[in-house]
Structure 1
Amino acid sequence: MFTIGEFARHGRVSARMLRHYDAIGLLRPDRIDPATGYRYYGAAQLARLNRVIALKDLGFTLQQVRAVVDDQVDADELRGMLRLRRAELEAAMTAAAARLTQVEARLRSIESEGHMPENDVQIKRVPAVRVAEVTATAPGYQPQDISPVVGPLYEKLFPLLATAGVRPTGPGIARYEDGPDGDGSVVVHAGVTVDAPAGPLGDTGVTVVELPAFEAATIVHRGSMDHVLATEQILARWIEDHGRRPAGYSREVSLECPEDREMWVTELQLPLVG
């Protein structure tokens, strides 16, 4: 038999936790000395403690844990509970990864403050271009809002162009505009340069549009578009310092787009007020 302190050390938990588990009937001592009130535990109880801690770490409530370890839950129900918890954990991991990406983007932006490479920004006249594009709506303009929308759009676009017999003749061009409802949503246009008449491409859902020429402040972003924030803010600071005003969202022109997203090269073209 072990004292509560000894059992706590063997189970890698605190004595306070064991007292709480005793109080709620989750893990009672094997014996309590009637004279001193000291709790004593047997080695066989480590198995129950291990199950309690494992289920608790999975996010189950102590009430649910008690039902499982007391065999009040059959195997099918337990499997269902575990599958549900797995789905919840996977969703939490996805959300945490997205938050980490946001933090990294903000950190890069902060680190770039005061180190603005002005020679990276160029003013140029962007010629008119004809693109075939598909559209969808993103909930906002943050990278974590845009990436899940623009990626699938391009995956959809190229097979549709192949079906229509239209071949790309230049780079991909993603452009954005405010959603019609004024709720902060953004209309995403994922396109690629083509040599085809303007208008719908049959019933494919692809539309060929003529984008007019415009004056733009441009900068090249290298790496995943998840980290584009710092580059965009370099561009924004340059525009303010030079007394210019933006006229909408930046276009994103894909100059190099290998499988490794960190090797992407993208030109940002921010339209300027004349």
Structure 2
Amino acid sequence: MFKIGDFSRLVRVSVRMLRHYDEIGILKPKSIDHHTGYRSYSVDQIPKVNRIQVLKEMGFTLSEIGGLLNQDLDSRQLISLLESRKRQISEVIESEHVKLLKVESLIKFINKEDSNMKYEITVKNIPMYKMLSLRGIIPAYNAEGVLWEELGAFVEQHKVNVTDPSYAIYHDNGYKESDVDVEVTMCITEAVTETERIKVRELEGAPEMAIVFHEGPFEEMTSAYNALGVWMSSNHYDCMGPTRAIYHKGPWCEQDPADYLTEIQIPVVKKEIK
């Protein structure tokens, strides 16, 4: 079972939206602690969250989604539904072309859903690093490049020697749709003078860090997070800190998003089996 914040992080849906889904009855927590009111979710709810997100992307209202979910659609029926909507979109004006491409992408996503879960998860001991750090609130995850540019400009201006790894660290308790708390870091081996925004700190190590590599567009990393959730549930692990990412390959070195390579890390601890 996952706490709502951990489940939010793994399915890439905000805590606020998960609570809303509960209120309107389309995704109820697996259990609610009667004493604390804390919600808990299970790994077998991940596919249902994916269905909801797919249907939202297609333009269905939450009320319509509730009705569709009550029909207990399987993947084949859902793909048929999406194909029907695809035909409708293809008949509208050229400005709707973006929606048509989105349908094709979502159909491909559903067809690949099972294979996308076949990620290899490893657990490693990650040491402490001395890091150059810049932390800020950004509008959305795809605006992270602004922080990297600022940190990179500081490194270049002050001729700082940096080494691998360079981490992006996500400090929010769960996935957020806006106002994202992100820290970008570069490993250093020498003394650096801090500024008001650029800090030097020790990034704590982790005795057990669950690691998964995602090859492909950043927008498709949800499948990697889903795989981590399944693996953690199957192997009795809990999240123990913020998610980290190392962007080994991206638009700065690859023209095709299919060649992007991202390493996702989550500190974990083994649960006590009673």
Which residue of 2 is the match for residue 134 of structure 1? 134
User: 1:147 aligned to 142, 145, 152, which one?
Assistant: 142
Against the structure 1 CA distance between its residues 136 and 121, is the aligned structure 2 distance closer, same or farther, given a 3 Å change threshold? same
What TM-score does the superposition give when structure 1 sets the normalisation length? 0.52
Segments of 4+ moved more than 4 angstroms: 96-107, 182-185
Please give the per-residue CA displacement for 1:83-142, whole angstroms capped at 9, x wherever unaligned: xxxxxxxxxx8xx96997799579637732376325x11111111112212122135xxx
| Gapped regions of structure 2 (runs ≥ 5) | 1-94
Letter in 2 for 1:273: V
Counterparts of 2:103 and 2:130, CA distance in 1:
33
Match of 1:187 in 2: 181
- Render the CA deviation track for 1:229-261: whole Å, top value 9, x for unaligned: 111111111111111111233210123341436
Structure-2 change in CA distance of 1:127 and 1:264 (3 Å): same
Counterpart CA distance in 2 for 1:98 and 1:209 is 45
On the 8 A contact 1:245/1:273 being kept in 2, the answer is yes
* 1:237 and 2:233 matched: no
Residue 209 in structure 1 maps to residue 201 in structure 2: yes
Secondary structure of 1:165's match?
Answer: coil
Give the alignment partner of residue 222 of structure 1, picking from 206, 209, 215.
Answer: 215
Q: How many residues align?
A: 170
Contact 1:109 1:229 in 2 (8 A): no
Q: Conserved in 1, the CA contact under 8 Å of 2:245 and 2:265?
A: yes
Query: SS in structure 2 opposite 1:196?
Result: coil
Structure 1 residue 266 corresponds to structure 2 residue 266: no
Indicate how the Cα distance of structure 1 residues 239 and 98 shifts in structure 2: closer, same or farther if over 3 A, else same.
farther
Q: CA deviation at 1:219?
A: 0.6
Distance in structure 2 (CA, Å) of the matches to 1:266 and 1:211: 20
1:196: Cα distance to partner?
3.0
Aligned mates of 2:188, 2:107 — CA distance in 1: 35
- Taking the aligned partners of 2:226 and 2:266, their CA distance within structure 1 comes to 11
Which residue of the partner structure matches residue 109 of structure 2? 108
2:195 is paired with a residue whose SS is coil
Q: Which has the larger radius of gyration?
A: 1
Q: TM-score, normalised by structure 2?
A: 0.52
Check if 1:123 corresponds to 2:123. yes
Aligned to 1:176: 170
2:89 alignment counterpart: none
Q: Percent identity?
A: 20
Q: Describe the shift of the 1:186–1:99 C-alpha distance in structure 2 as closer, same or farther (beyond 3 A).
A: farther
Can you give the 5+ residue segments of structure 1 that lack an aligned partner in the other structure?
1-92, 140-144
Which residue of the partner structure matches residue 91 of structure 2?
Answer: none
Q: Deviations over 1:28-83 (max 9, x none)?
A: xxxxxxxxxxxxxxxxxxxxxxxxxxxxxxxxxxxxxxxxxxxxxxxxxxxxxxxx
- Partner letter of residue 147 of structure 2? L
